[in-house]
C-alpha cells in the first residue's frame, strides 16, 4: 500500500483585519525592482477603496481585475500568463489572488504556468507539473470552496473540466480575514457555503474515509450546522466560522475525495456553465437516495434561508446533450468509487444518471 504524501499551505495569517499586513508580508518576497507582484482581483472590488487602498503598489506591480461571472478556463490562464510575461521586465515576484474560488484558482494556475512550458490544458490531471510555481498567495473573499487550502486548481479546458492537481499548486501563503467576506450577497453566501457542506457529507459518507479526513470533516460539518441551522451566531462569528469550515472541509477532502454531487455538477458546469456552488446545490437536492441524512439537513437549511433553486435546467436538452453531461460525470471515476465503492459501475448506469439530470 502506498500512502499519499501531500503538501499543505505553509503560512497562514488568520484574523479580522489581517489583510492590513499584506504589504509587510510581501516585501521580503520581492526578488528585484524589475520583478513585480501581480494582483489578480475579482472585479467586484474594482471601485472598492476600503480594500484596494490597503495594497501599496511599488515599481512595476500591477492589479488585473477579473470577472468571476464565469469559471476559469485554461485559455484564460494562457492569455493572462502571456500578458504578464510580455509586460514584466523579469519573472514576477509573486501572484496574489483576491476573490472567491474563481480568482484563487486563476492565481494558482497562472503561478504554475509562468514556470512551465506549453498550455494550461496540458497540465489538467494528476502530477503533470514539472517545475515549481512562482510564489503565490491566496486571499479568499467568500468562504466554502476550500480552494484556499487545496492541491488543485479547477479549470475548464477544451476537452474537460479538470484540475491541475500537483504538489506545486497549493498557496505559499494564505490570508484568512473574514472581514473581506462581509458584503457577499445572501444567495451566493449560501451556494458557496453549501459547497463546504457537500464536501463534508461526501467525504464523511465515502468509502475513502480515514481518521485524517473524518476529524477535519466532522469539525467542518459541526460549524456548518452552527452557521446554517442554529443561527444564534453574530454576523462576525458566522463569517469567521464559515472561513474555518471552508478550510477544514478542504482539508477533509484532501485525504479522501468528493462524491456524486460533484461528479454530476461537473457535467452541468461543462455543458451549461452552471457555477460550482449553485450546481452542487441543484444536484444535491435530488440525491436523497444516496445521502439521505445529508439531503434532509440540506433541505432544512435551504428553507431556513429562503433559497429557491432554479428548476427545469435540463428540460429542453437533447439526448446528445444528456450524453455529454453523463460522459463528464462518469469519467470522474475516483468520485464514484469514493461514493459507492469499487464496484460502482454495477449500480451507476447511464439511465440512472439521465433520470436524475431530467429532474433538475
Determine, following the binding rule CB under 6 A, whether residue 18 of this chain makes contact with ligand NAD.
no
Among 42, 177, 179, 195, binds Zn ion (CB under 5 A): 195
Q: What crossing angle do the helices spanning 292-304 and 186-204 adopt, rounded to 10°?
A: 170
Site for ligand NAD in 69-88 (CB under 6 A): 71-72
- C-beta closer to Zn ion: residue 61 or 195: 195
Which backbone phi and psi does 238 adopt, to 5 degrees?
-65, -40
Determine, following the binding rule CB under 6 A, whether residue 93 of this chain makes contact with ligand NAD.
no
Q: How many helices (H) and strands (E) does the chain have?
A: 14, 9
Site for ligand NAD in 203-262 (CB under 6 A): none
Determine, following the binding rule CB under 6 A, whether residue 100 of this chain makes contact with ligand NAD.
yes
Instruction: Quote the distance between the C-alpha of residue 272 and its chain's center.
Output: 18
CA dihedral for 70, 74, 78, 81, sign (positive or negative):
positive
CA dihedral for 118, 124, 130, 132, sign (positive or negative):
positive
Instruction: Quote the distance between the C-alpha of residue 241 and its chain's center.
Output: 18
Site for ligand NAD in 171-200 (CB under 6 A): 180-181, 183-184, 188, 192, 195
- C-beta closer to ligand NAD: residue 35 or 124: 124
- C-beta closer to ligand NAD: residue 139 or 356: 139
Residue span 285-324 as binding mask against ligand NAD, x where in contact by CB under 6 A, dash where not: ----------------------------------------
Strand partners of residue 175: 13
Picked from Zn ion, ligand NAD, none, the partner binding residue 121 (CB below 5 to 8 A depending on kind) is none
Q: Are strands 62-66 and 154-156 parallel, antiparallel or unpaired?
A: unpaired
Of 298, 177, 184, nearest in space to 244 by CA: 177
Residue span 204-223 as binding mask against Zn ion, x where in contact by CB under 5 A, dash where not: --------------------
- C-beta closer to Zn ion: residue 93 or 141: 141
Q: CB 187 → ligand NAD: shortest distance, Å?
A: 10
| Number of residues in contact with Zn ion under rule CB under 5 A | 1
Report the C-alpha gap between 169 and 163 in whole angstroms: 10
Site for ligand NAD in 108-147 (CB under 6 A): 141-142, 144-147
- C-beta closer to Zn ion: residue 177 or 195: 195
| Number of residues in contact with ligand NAD under rule CB under 6 A | 31
Determine, following the binding rule CB under 5 A, whether residue 148 of this chain makes contact with Zn ion.
no
Determine, following the binding rule CB under 6 A, whether residue 267 of this chain makes contact with ligand NAD.
no
Strand partners of residue 95: 38, 136
Contact residues for 187 (Cβ-Cβ < 8 A; gap 6+)? 307
Torsion of CA 342, 298, 185, 249, to 10 degrees: -40
Q: Is 214 exposed, middle or buried (0-12, 13-18, 19+ CB in 10 A)?
A: middle
Q: CA Rg, the chain, in Å?
A: 20
Determine, following the binding rule CB under 6 A, whether residue 97 of this chain makes contact with ligand NAD.
no
Asked if residues 111 and 135 have their Cβ atoms less than 8 Å apart, the reply is: yes
Determine, following the binding rule CB under 6 A, whether residue 276 of this chain makes contact with ligand NAD.
yes
* Contact positions vs Zn ion (CB under 5 A): 195
Q: Residues interacting with ligand NAD, by CB under 6 A?
A: 42, 44, 68, 71-72, 99-103, 105, 141-142, 144-147, 150, 152-154, 180-181, 183-184, 188, 192, 195, 275-277
Amino acid at each position: 500500500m502506498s500512502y499519499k504524501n501531500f503538501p499543505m499551505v505553509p503560512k497562514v495569517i488568520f484574523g479580522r483585519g489581517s489583510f492590513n499586513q499584506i504589504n509587510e508580508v510581501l516585501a521580503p518576497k520581492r526578488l528585484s525592482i524589475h520583478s513585480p507582484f501581480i494582483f489578480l482581483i475579482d472585479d467586484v472590488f474594482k471601485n472598492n477603496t476600503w480594500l484596494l487602498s490597503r495594497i501599496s503598489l511599488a515599481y512595476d506591480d500591477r492589479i488585473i481585475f477579473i470577472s468571476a461571472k464565469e469559471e476559469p478556463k485554461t485559455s484564460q490562464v494562457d492569455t493572462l500568463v502571456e500578458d504578464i510575461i510580455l509586460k514584466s521586465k523579469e519573472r514576477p515576484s509573486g501572484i496574489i489572488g483576491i476573490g472567491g474560488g474563481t480568482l484563487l484558482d486563476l492565481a494558482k494556475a497562472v503561478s504554475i504556468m509562468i514556470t512551465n512550458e506549453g498550455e494550461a490544458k496540458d497540465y489538467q490531471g494528476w502530477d503533470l507539473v514539472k517545475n515549481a510555481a512562482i510564489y503565490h498567495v491566496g486571499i479568499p473573499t467568500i468562504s466554502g470552496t476550500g480552494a484556499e487550502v487545496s492541491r488543485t486548481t479547477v479549470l475548464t479546458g477544451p476537452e474537460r473540466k479538470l484540475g491541475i492537481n500537483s504538489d506545486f499548486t497549493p498557496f505559499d501563503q494564505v490570508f484568512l480575514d473574514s472581514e473581506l467576506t462581509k458584503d457577499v450577497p445572501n444567495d451566493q453566501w449560501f451556494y458557496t457555503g453549501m459547497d463546504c457542506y457537500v464536501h463534508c457529507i461526501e467525504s464523511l459518507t465515502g468509502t475513502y474515509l480515514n481518521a485524517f479526513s473524518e476529524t477535519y470533516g466532522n469539525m467542518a460539518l459541526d460549524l456548518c450546522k452552527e452557521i446554517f441551522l442554529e443561527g444564534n451566531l453574530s454576523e462576525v462569528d458566522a463569517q469567521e466560522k464559515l472561513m474555518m469550515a471552508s478550510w477544514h472541509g478542504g482539508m477533509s477532502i484532501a485525504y479522501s475525495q468528493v462524491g456524486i454531487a460533484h461528479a454530476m455538477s461537473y457535467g452541468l458546469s461543462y455543458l451549461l456553465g452552471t457555477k460550482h456552488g449553485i450546481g452542487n446545490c441543484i444536484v444535491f437536492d435530488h440525491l436523497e437516495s444516496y445521502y439521505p441524512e445529508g439531503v434532509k439537513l440540506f433541505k432544512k437549511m435551504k428553507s431556513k434561508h429562503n433559497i429557491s433553486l432554479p428548476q427545469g435546467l435540463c428540460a429542453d436538452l437533447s439526448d446528445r446533450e444528456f450524453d455529454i453531461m453523463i460522459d463528464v460525470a462518469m469519467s470522474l471515476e475516483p468520485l464514484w468509487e469514493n461514493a459507492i465503492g469499487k464496484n460502482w459501475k454495477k449500480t451507476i448506469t447511464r439511465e440512472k444518471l439521465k433520470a436524475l439530470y431530467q429532474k433538475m
